[in-house]
Structure formats: C-alpha cells, structure tokens
Amino acid sequence: MMNHLILRATLASAGAALLFSSVVGCASNPGSLQGDDGNDPNSNGSADPANGGDPNGTGSTTQACDVGQSWDGFAGTKLEVGRVDAPIGADRGRMKPYSALQGEYQRVLGATPSTLAGAASTFGQPVNRWYVEPQASAISLYTAYSVAFDGCLTYTATDPKYATAPTQATASTECAAMARKFWSQTASTDQVNACVTVAVTNTASITDAKRRWAHTCASVMTASGFLAY
C-alpha cells in the first residue's frame, strides 16, 4: 500500500510540475497566467519590455514556451505521451514479484507449496518499503519449476484422473485445461503440443503416473503465462 501511495504521489507531483511549467513557460508576463496579448485593444499591440515583451509593439515576445519535463513510466513508456501514442502491450511480460506469486500458487493449486517460503531471495523479494523489478534468471526459473512441482504433487495426488499415465489424447485435454486455469487464457496449439511432449515423451521413463502428471503441471506453471504479467 505504501508503494502505491508513493507512486501516486510521484505521478501527481509530475503532473503538477508539467502543468505549472506549461503555464509559466508560455506566459510572457510572470505576473499573469495569460501573458501579454497583442490583440488586446488597450495595449495598442505592444508588450511591456520590462516583462520580456517587444518594445516595437509587434505583439511578439522573446520568451519561448517550455514543453516541460519528460518522465519515464513502466517499460520505458513516457508518461506525457499517454496510452494513445505509446506502444500497446509494452508493459507486458514483466515477471511477477514474490509477493504476487504467493497468492498465485494458492489460487491455481488450492494450496501454497511449502518450498515457496524459503525462495523469497531467489525471486528477488526486496526489503520492506522498497520495490525492485524482478528479473528472470536460470536460478529463478529452476526454483520456480521446483516449487511448482512440489505444489503439483499435491494437486495430482487426490484426483483419480491422474492415476493413469498420460496418453496423447488425455495429455492434450489436460494440458489445455491446465493452461486455461493457470494462465487465465487459452493456450495455442504449439503451446499445448509442447506440454503434451512433456507428459508423453519427456517423462516416459517415470513409472509413477501421478509424478508424470506433476511434471506436466509444473511445466505449465513455469511458462511465462503463469510467471509473468
């Protein structure tokens, strides 16, 4: 909550700074919010030279308009550009922080894997009142697979449909269902086929059917659809 308040306060200050610089920078008269107007019939088309105006009465001023300060948002998006001109989806594919993963495992598996509690540093959990953008690495991905496999062992332990070794047909059905549940989106044909390969081919040497399904489940949970926004 504190991070959100700091971010909101920063954005509000940035917006106020942009507004203030626009008003002051475009006004030729520091004492006026509107500046000198060459069309004012009472000014005879002239501006006060003491305030930066044109002494020849042409109505022009010597002060240029200040466009304001540029501010970087998430994924390098300029805050002053806005979502209309900024590339859509530039802030996608960001790794979920450890604080979010704690709830995500519980949401999709019904229980939080016990090994997750000791993995905070691996997932880049920052100290209190700080935020650090998490980055994927070989270590974090390996840990993510281990944590997911731990949770998937419990997930597949009580469901009778996982008591039988996966086949091409059952793996295709379950891979699509897992992806939909874990990612909150429908997997493509290539993504389902990659999952089926894990279930049918890569784990063929494992005799315990539930462990094969657990590896299949873990492979889906280690994909970007689950680990990233």
Residues 150 and 188 in one domain: yes
Q: Rounded to 5 degrees, what angle do the CA atoms 31, 37, 40 make?
A: 115
Is 122 among the domain residues? yes
Same domain for 122 and 206, yes or no, is: yes
Determine the pLDDT at residue 94: 78
pLDDT tens per residue, the chain (229 residues)?
434 433 343 434 434 333 333 433 344 444 444 444 444 445 444 444 454 455 555 555 556 555 567 777 766 767 766 555 555 555 667 788 888 888 899 999 998 898 888 888 777 777 777 777 777 788 889 999 999 999 999 999 989 999 999 999 999 999 999 999 999 999 999 999 999 999 999 999 999 999 999 999 999 999 999 998 8
Identify the sign of the CA torsion 169, 151, 185, 225.
negative
Residues 104 and 70 grouped into a single domain = no
**Which residue range is the domain that position 203 belongs to?**
98-227
pLDDT at 128: 76
Domain-embedded: residue 29: yes
DSSP string, the chain: -HHHHHHHHHHHHHHHHHHHHHHHHH-SSTT-SS---TT-TTTTT---GGGTB-TTSSS-BSPPPP-----B-GGG-BTTT-TTTSPTTTT-SPBPPHHHHHHHHHHHHSS--GGGGGGTTTTTPPPTT--------HHHHHHHHHHHHHHHHHHHHS-GGGSS---HHHHHHHHHHHHHHHHSSPPPHHHHHHHHHIIIIITTT---HHHHHHHHHHHHHTSHHHHB-
The pLDDT of residue 34: 42
Any domain includes 162: yes
Structural domain contains residue 124? yes
Neighbours of 49 (CB within 10 A): 11
Do 202 and 109 belong together in one domain? yes
Query: Do 49 and 116 belong to one domain?
Result: no
Identify whether residues 103 and 58 lie together within a single domain: no
Q: Kindly state whether residues 50 and 102 are assigned to the same domain.
A: no
User: In terms of domains, do 37 and 103 share one?
Assistant: no
The pLDDT, as a whole number, for residue 12 is 41
Asked if 108 and 190 sit in the same domain, the reply is: yes
Query: Considering the domain boundaries, does residue 168 fall inside one?
Result: yes
Looking at the structure, tell me whether residues 124 and 11 fall in a common domain.
no
Taking the C-alpha atoms of residue 144 and residue 210, their distance in angstroms, rounded to an integer, is 19
Looking at the domain assignment, is residue 84 inside a domain? no
Q: What is the pLDDT of residue 81?
A: 66
Count of structural domains within the chain: 2
Cα 19 to Cα 22, 68, 89, distances in angstroms: 5, 8, 27
Same domain for 64 and 113: no
Residues 59 and 160 in one domain: no
Q: Judge whether 114 lies within some domain.
A: yes
pLDDT at 119: 81
pLDDT recorded at residue 206: 96
Q: Is residue 60 in a domain?
A: yes
